[in-house]
Amino acid sequence: MHHSQLHVVLLAIMMLSLLWGSSFIAIKIIVDEVQPLASFGMRFFIAGILLVATHYIFLHTIYRRSNKKDYQSDQINNRQLWKGWFLSALFFIVGGQGILALGAQYLSSGAAALINSTIPIWVAIFMLLFLGKKPTRLSMAGITAGFIGLIILVLPTLETEESSWIGVVLLIVSSISWAIGSLFSSPVRAAGEKRAILLPTGMFMALGGLILLALWVVTGTGEISTLNTLFSTANNILGSFLFLTLVCTAVGYAIFYWLLGSTTPSLANTFAYIVPVIAVFLGWVILGESISSQTIIATIVISAGVAMMIISPAPKKTNN
């Protein structure tokens, strides 16, 4: 990886980690008040539509003169792309986020972020199982360090709080779903233009949001009136929802999809190790949760793990 590109990748990973680290507090505030499938369905549908709209605004303003045809590249009529978007919607949004929302009800925001951060480990395991790609020694060391750091971080919370196993299992399932999505959503990357990242990201998010809303209606887990709660200013719900939808989701997913297209699935998902550190820190600042020496040690170990995964040479990418 070139030096300049490494800087951009590092910056993208840090921005993503900040956005998604802070998202866990917003998620906790929302799912405690509003039915998870409903709130997450709205979150992804709105963010997805916004990204698609932004894509077309860009298309008709910035790209009109230079390379409009090249930019559009017939994406919206491409059946192969729709298949990719649908798979991404299922693995990232329905599995990765819908199940996370259900599990977040049973856990503290920090605990949810911690279990979610096993994603890079799942990615490495599945790359070995499905694609036969062995991780390099350095990235193995990075994964191990990340895992040890997580255990240091999780053990005290498991001992002290009565952590619900339903929540833990749901979060693990959501992490596995996200990891599988990272490996197999390549149709979007392969056929999508590098620059036209807003359309594929927006499309799969809007699709995922619609599926979540449909599941919510079908399972009959509440009246339509619960959606009104999302727009209530009480308990910081509206602020949290807008922050989660516009900033964490719309901006965050565009960055993640860019990373997934520009680097490897393992590297794109290193954000997952940094997120709990940020979530724990923000929990301390915003919600007044305590930070122990154990947390600080774990943070250092996890950061070292991420550094090793970033430095390690990527396995050669095969052209699709």
pLDDT score at 304 = 77
pLDDT band at 166 (very low <50, low <70, confident <90, very high): confident
- The larger pLDDT score, comparing residue 26 to residue 77, is at 26
Residue type (1 letter), 142: G
pLDDT > 60? residue 192 = no
pLDDT 10s digits, 252-307: 888 887 887 777 777 777 787 778 778 777 877 776 666 677 777 877 787 777 67
pLDDT at 35: 85
* pLDDT for 45: 94
Backbone angles phi, psi at 316, to 5 degrees: -60, 130
Binned at pLDDT 50, 70 and 90, residue 187 comes out as very low
The residue-averaged pLDDT of 74-81 equals 67
Q: Two tokens at 250?
A: 């719309």
Bigger pLDDT: 80 vs 238: 238
Model's pTM, two decimal places?
0.77
Q: Tell me the Ramachandran region of residue 222: left when phi exceeds 0, alpha when psi lies from -120 to 50, beta otherwise.
A: left
Task: Give the pLDDT confidence score for residue 279 in this predicted structure.
Answer: 79
**What pLDDT does 292 receive?**
72
Place of tokens 């994603």: 119
Ramachandran bin of 236, using left for φ above 0, alpha for ψ from -120 to 50, beta for the remaining angles = left
Interior angle at CA 213, CA 209 and CA 214, nearest 5: 115
CA distances from 153 to 9, 68, 144, 300 (A): 26, 50, 14, 11
pLDDT digits (tens, 9 = 90+) for 194-237: 556 778 888 888 999 999 999 988 886 666 666 677 776 676 78
State how far the alpha carbon of 128 is from the alpha carbons of 45, 125, 180, 311, 313, in Å: 34, 5, 12, 20, 16
What are the pLDDT digits (tens) for 240-251?
888 889 888 888
- Give the start-to-end residue ranges of the domains of the chain: 3-63+78-311
